[in-house]
A and B are shown apart, each in its own frame.
Chain A
Amino acid sequence: MLMLGLRLEIISTILEYLPIRDLCSFARVSKQLQEMVYDDSRWVHKLKLMGIWNETEARRRFEDAMRRRRAVQAARAAEEGKKALENGVKTPNVGLAGGSPAPGVSRSSTLFDAGEEENRVQVQREASMRRAELDAKRRTVAGTITEGIDFMNPAPLTPIDIPRPGIADPSSLLKVLPSIKSIRGFARHEFGRIYAALGPLYFDLAKAKTHTDPVVFRIYRDPEQQAQILAQLKVFALCDTAHGWMDRLERLDLMIGIFENAALREFEGGYETGDTDGRMRRYANVLILLNGGQACVQLFVQKHPVMFERGELGNPMDSFDKPMPGSFSLEPSSLFFTRLSALLHEQADVIDRVFPATVNVMIPFLERVAEDVISEFVTPILDEAHDRDIEQYLKAVAGIYHQLLEFAKTIKATNGSGEKFPEEVMKIMGRVFEAHVDLYLQDELEYFRKKCEAEVDSWEKKILEEDAATESFFMSNINREADKRDFLSTFKKVILMPVSAIPSPFSAKSASATETKPAETSPDASSNSLSVQETPNVSRPGTPVVPGQAAPGPPPTTELAAKAAIMNSRLEGIRSLFSLEVALNLVHSAKSSLERAALFASAGGQTGEEAREQCEQIFIALLQVLGPRHVKAGFDKAVEHLSKYNPREITEHSQPGVPPLVTFLELVNVGDLIQQMIDVFYEQELVAAKLTDPRDFLNPAAKEKKRFEQMLDERVAAGLNMGIDVLIDEVDHLFAITQQTTDFNPGAIGDAGLRDFDIGPTKTAIQVIEVVSSHTKLLTGSIDKNVLDVFNQEVGIRLFASLCKHIKRQRISVDGAIKLISDLNHYHAYIATLKIKPLVPYFNALRELSQIYLIDPSHAKQMATVIADPNRFGGIFRVEEVYEYATRREDWYRVKKEVERAMYGIGCCIS
């Protein structure tokens, strides 16, 4: 009763640090202390320490039990209630000291249990008596065990109502921990089972001086069993919170250590003698039972001969200078991976035989191989390649990485590898390259950028050196639309066949051979002429089917090159501005760079993400070099030429075109071609390869592409604007210099006999139409239909305005009217071919207008009505304007009076 002087919490805390035996004695002191000791949460806590308490299971069981119990409780309610009251009176301190609600709750259940416990203890005592007899019998069998069990006997309150198979049978003891159930209110009983089974062994072990002493090693002779029980003891030690636990734990660890070492030695012995199925297998199992077997896995991995014999798999320096000095070959590394793969295949078998399926040995093994063997092989190659030549380095990285991936695919999974084995293998292999990827991606982009710039630079230099005088070369007007489509479809075909067209890093060819491929194929195939007969308006995705080409053509690379050469020769005129070939080369190198970088994108994870971003960067770099550097500069130059053009300075007008405008329009064509090329490239290489998301409008690649297109459109628009001015300037110039006064006024010269009477448009009209139509035709198919329509409409309106001005400068006789009408009919016919509705009324009005010159002077009066008829000209000309035109009649001063009189109603006299 002295104890009650202490606060209950303090007592409870003290209890936590008491050994189990003392707890039992303590419980005997009083009912109240017994309750405290028996408190279920105390034992749950101990089970939790060992990590074998399952809270969800407990809750489920508790709910089940509560349901059952409530039924029983109802029956006994009166009787139990009385008893409880009694207890409550007897222990007033409990009520007072119940600081937290939790003890109160548990107390009520303990109270109830305590009542039952009384009865049960009685039963148990009898049972334990019986068991003691049994134990006594067994004592003869296993001497010291009983000592431990005897500890338990003086504590009859320990729950031993559940039969203890552990003691009856040493082998069933091995499974005591897994058999523990999580039941609320029975934690003490469960703990008792564990304690009874492992306690004696534990304390015995703790006292042992040498490794031969402990009972454990005497009961169990089998190393597997020993391992099992030691593993359980290790768990059991976790709940040992009593004084001296450190010493005990230390001793236990020592014993386990000794045991583990012995087992490892056996395992190692088996390893060295190659006794795979015997000792290795057995002791691997033992060690796994003991503590998961990490030690033997480590040993297995560390001691593996492949770590020491990696030199035999291949020498990294073999990759260099082998076929010839300075070259680089992927063959040695391929050989290396083949050998390694064979070796790993063998090892997978060994692992399967040695280790059970519960342990994943292959992954640690592979990690080690990757780190020690592959990295050691790859890194020197890459470092060396990097030092030698960037391009070699880039090819080496991509090539070896691909080999590595291929190699990873060949690795055989073992029984214990689990389902995610392939992913894990990829991850491990990815780690090998992690260190290189960043540098590689950066170098790739830089290399690509440099190469592009160099290409453009060299081209620019070449152009500067060449004489730019031949700049204006009028293109033969053969079916350019079909040509372009043909070219594009070939381009598409090449893009679609990546491996054959662009040197893949994995074709085992030597790098130096593949490297020059795109460059040398471009010019060589110009002999490959092709006849394009496709109708321009049939839009067909495939290549045009030309009779001669029905048979499978030459390999795409050369076919593309051939077409590029043909296009180039046609585009001679603009070669000083920008070159399709350069664009093609740029796209080619972008593709090879992309293909290499894309390998890493498939690796997934952070590296993959980075690689993907880098791929987009490459694309952006391509656009930036191609766009602002190459195309834009060309356009700017062309527009500049245009703006400087002055038709009056050019004496030679034999060509039916304005040279700078023709150049510009050709440029529009090529620009459009390049844009479509980029588009195909983007679709095929980036979108189809899932390197970029076309729906993401914030995506830098998509944005850059849009910017490129916008740039192109802007240049085209600016150029067209300028182009219209230049064109109309040229037309005005033609009017001014070629139109003869006699054209519309044949009588002016006075010699009627020499009059060349032939109807039909004048030379001027024919020439003007030729100039205008040759330019508008150039644009067909190269720019957007809407833009083209706007352009044509603008040209039409400006032509109309020029014509009006021109007519107002002429003198037109009645005879000359026929010429004028012919001219205007000619213009009208041309405008009709443009098929632009809004233009038609203007030229209709002109035709109507021309009639007034046809009217005989004797009809002057009616001429006034014609002039004043507003409907006649569809609202294009006002009456005053028509009047103004009428004044251009050659006989105007003769008819003026009459006309004006009729128009304004001034006087009326009969002549």
Chain B
Amino acid sequence: MANDEYDFLFKVVLIGDSGVGKSNLLSRFTRNEFNLDSKSTIGVEFATRSIQVDTKTIKAQIWDTAGQERYRAITSAYYRGAVGALLVYDISKQITYDNVTRWLKELRDHADNNIVIMLVGNKSDLRHLRAVPTEDSKNFAAENHLSFIETSALDSTNVELAFQTILTEIYRIVSSKALDGGDQHQVSQPGSSQPLHITPTAENATKDGKCC
């Protein structure tokens, strides 16, 4: 199982409204599969895939979460230790785009402050049904310091690129932070191995626990 060597292990979460295509993005990326009549995810699913950045092997541990999960206690568990997040919306459904703000807030609340976020407009194959103009999203991403990409899990446009991009970005940050050598951050990521270093802003975890 663990026989494949890797230099970095990053936890990345897939979030977004229910039905935007998170599970299919994941299956396209990890198994190159697409399932037209997939059911909504229950709880969480995991998948891993390793990619090469520079000379390093980066193993991505991707958590595919249920879009409809209501309990903060559980969603915060998803974000725990995540270094990257793909915030997915459906370009043919305005509401999923509108909710992006809500998801962003949740990320800010629960996830690590330094988490790398990428806005992903999925289902780009549904051109004729497009409800969210690419420009709007681009602008929104720029405003919020997010990277942005439009993908299609169905015809696999940009799927690879999206993951590549975010993983590379994380790697850059992590490798630059690693130079600081500050390992004071309480790593909450399960099984975090030594290569993973994210600049700590530990306040979030403790803050959550206190609120009544």
**What separation, in Å, do the CA atoms of A760 and B190 have in the docked complex?**
14
A136 CB-CB contact with B under 8 Å: no
A856-873 to B contact mask, C-beta < 8 Å, 1/0 = 101100110110000000
- Interface pair B191/A855, CB less than 8 Å apart: no
Majority SS at the chain B contact face = mixed
Q: Which B residues, 45 to 91, have Cβ-Cβ distances below 8 Å to chain A?
A: 45-48, 61, 71-74, 76-78, 80
Residue A815 at the B interface, CB < 8 A? yes
Proximity bits, B1-31, A CB within 8 Å = 1, else 0: 1100000010000000000000000000000
Question: Does any Cβ of B come within 8 Å of A850's Cβ?
Answer: yes
Out of B1, B42, B192, B208, name the residue touching A858 (CB < 8 Å): B208
Q: Across the interface, do A855 and B77 meet the contact criterion of CB distance under 8 Å? A: yes
A866 to B43, CA, bound (A): 13
B74 near A866 (CB under 8 angstroms)? yes
Is B36 part of the binding interface, using a Cβ–Cβ cutoff of 8 Å?
Answer: no
Q: Interface 1/0s, chain A 251-271, versus B by CB < 8 A? A: 000000000000000000000
Q: How many residues of B contact A (CB 8 A)?
A: 28
A850 touching B43 by the CB < 8 A rule? yes
Tell me which residues across on chain A come within 8 A of B173, comparing CB atoms: none
Complex contacts, A167 vs chain B, CB 8 Å: none
- Specify which of A828, A847, A851 is in contact with B74 (CB 8 Å cutoff): A851
Tell me which of A305-313, A613-621, A817-825 binds B. Answer: A817-825
Inter-subunit contact B71/A866 (CB<8 Å): yes
A875: min CB distance to chain B, Å: 15
The residues in B between 162 and 212 inclusive whose CB is less than 8 angstroms from any CB of A are: 190-193, 205-206, 208-209, 212
Residue in B48, B73, B77, B78 whose beta carbon sits within 8 Å of that of A760 in the complex: B48
A652 within 8 A of B: no
Q: Are A759 and B46 in contact (CB under 8 A)?
A: yes
A821 touches B43 (CB 8 A): yes
* Bound form: Cα–Cα A859–B210 in Å: 9
A847 with B71: in contact, given A760-B1, A818-B190 (CB under 8 Å)? no
Please measure, in the bound complex, the distance between the C-alpha atom of A758 and the C-alpha atom of B11, giving whole angstroms.
12
Are B191 and A757 in contact, CB atoms less than 8 angstroms apart? yes
Residues of A within 8 A of B45 (CB): 821, 825
Name the CB-closest residue of A to B207.
A858
Nearest Cβ on chain A to B196's Cβ, whole angstroms: 11
Does the CB pair B42–A856 fall under 8 Å? Answer: no
Give Cα A758–Cα B45 distance, bound, in whole angstroms. Answer: 13
From B9, which residue of chain A is reached at the shortest CB distance? A757
B208 A851 Cβ-Cβ under 8 A: no
Whether B44 is near chain A, meaning CB under 8 Å from some CB there, is yes
Partner among B2, B78, B206 whose Cβ is within 8 Å of the Cβ of A758? B2
Please tell me which one of the listed residues A758, A854, A865, A910 contacts residue B44 in the complex, with CB atoms under 8 A apart: A854
Contact A814 B190 (CB under 8 A): yes
Contact partner of B212 among A746, A844, A910, CB < 8 A? Answer: A910
**Do A856 and B76 have beta carbons less than 8 Å apart?**
yes
The interface residues of chain A lying within 8 Å CB-to-CB of B192 are 757
Determine if A755 is an interface residue (Cβ-Cβ < 8 Å): yes
The residue on B at minimum CB distance from A829 is B45
The answer, yes or no, to whether A756 is at the interface (CB within 8 Å) is: yes
What CA separation (Å) do A700 and B176 show in the bound complex? 89
A759, B48: Cβ atoms under 8 Å? yes
**At the interface, yes or no: A848 with Cβ under 8 Å from chain B?**
yes
Residues of A within 8 A of B46 (CB): 759-760, 818, 821-822, 825
Q: Collect the chain A residues with CB atoms within 8 Å of residue B2's CB.
A: 756-758
Q: Determine the residue in chain A with the shortest Cβ distance to B212.
A: A910
In the complex, which of the residues B42, B61, B77 contacts A847, with contact meaning CB atoms closer than 8 Å?
B42
Contacts of B191 in A (CB 8 A): 746, 755, 757-758, 815
Q: Find the B residue at minimum CB distance from A864.
A: B73
Q: How far is the CA of A410 from the CA of B191 in the complex (A)?
A: 96
Q: Which residues of A contact B190 (CB under 8 A)?
A: 746, 757, 814-815, 818
A746 surroundings in chain B (CB, below 8 A):
190-191
User: Shortest CB–CB separation between residue A842 and chain B, in angstroms?
Assistant: 12
Query: Hey, which chain A residues are within 8 Å of B1, CB to CB?
Result: 756, 758, 760
* B residues less than 8 Å from A866 (CB atoms): 71, 73-74
Q: Considering the complex, give the chain A residue whose CB is closest to the CB of B46.
A: A759
Q: Which of B48, B72, B190, B192 has the most CB of A within 10 A?
A: B190
CB nearest neighbor in B for A822: B46
Q: Which residues in A have their C-beta under 8 angstroms from that of B209?
A: 856, 858-859
Q: Is the CB of B205 within 8 A of A847?
A: no
B80: A residues at CB distance < 8 A: 856
A468 to B42, CA, bound (A): 49
Cβ-defined contact, B42 with A855, below 8 A: no
Say whether, besides A758-B1, A858-B209, A848 and B43 are in contact (CB < 8 Å). Answer: yes
Residue in A759, A822, A856, A865 whose beta carbon sits within 8 Å of that of B77 in the complex:
A856
| Cβ of B95 to closest chain A Cβ, rounded Å | 23
> Chain B contacts of A848 at CB under 8 A?
42-43
Q: Could you tell me the distance between the alpha carbons of A129 and B183 in the complex, rounded to whole angstroms?
A: 166
| Nearest CB on B from A902, distance (A) | 11
C-alpha gap A628/B62 in the complex (Å):
59
- Tell me if A855 and B208 are in contact (CB < 8 A): no
Query: Which of B44, B61, B193 has the largest count of A CB atoms less than 10 A from its CB?
Result: B44
Contact partner of A863 (CB less than 8 A), chosen from B42, B48, B73, B78, is B73
Q: In the docked arrangement, what's the CA distance between A638 and B61, Å?
A: 47
Contact of B48 among A758, A814, A855 (CB under 8 A): A758
Q: Which residue of the partner chain B has the closest CB to A844?
A: B42
Complex CA gap A285/B4 in Å reads: 114
Residues of B within 8 A of A756 (CB): 1-2
CB <8 Å contact, B193 and A757: yes
Which partner residue on chain A sits nearest B74 by CB separation? A851
In whole angstroms, what is the CA distance A760 to B192 when docked? 16
In the complex, what's the smallest C-beta–C-beta distance from A807 to chain B, in angstroms?
14
Bound CA span A757–B48, Å: 12
- Chain B residues with CB under 8 Å of A828's CB are 42
A862, closest chain B residue (CB): B73
Contacts of B47 in A (CB 8 A): 759
* With contact pairs A759-B61, A910-B212 given, residues A862 and B71 touching in the complex (Cβ less than 8 Å): yes
Q: A859-B208, A865-B71 are in contact. List 10 more A-B contacts (CB 8 A).
A: A758-B2, A759-B47, A760-B1, A825-B46, A848-B43, A850-B43, A855-B74, A859-B209, A862-B73, A865-B73
Closest 9 CB pairs of A and B: A757-B191, A858-B209, A859-B73, A862-B73, A815-B190, A759-B46, A854-B77, A847-B42, A847-B43
Interfacial residues, chain B to chain A (CB-CB below 8 A): 1-2, 9, 42-48, 61, 71-74, 76-78, 80, 190-193, 205-206, 208-209, 212
5 contacts between A and B (CB under 8 A): A758-B48, A815-B190, A855-B74, A856-B205, A856-B209
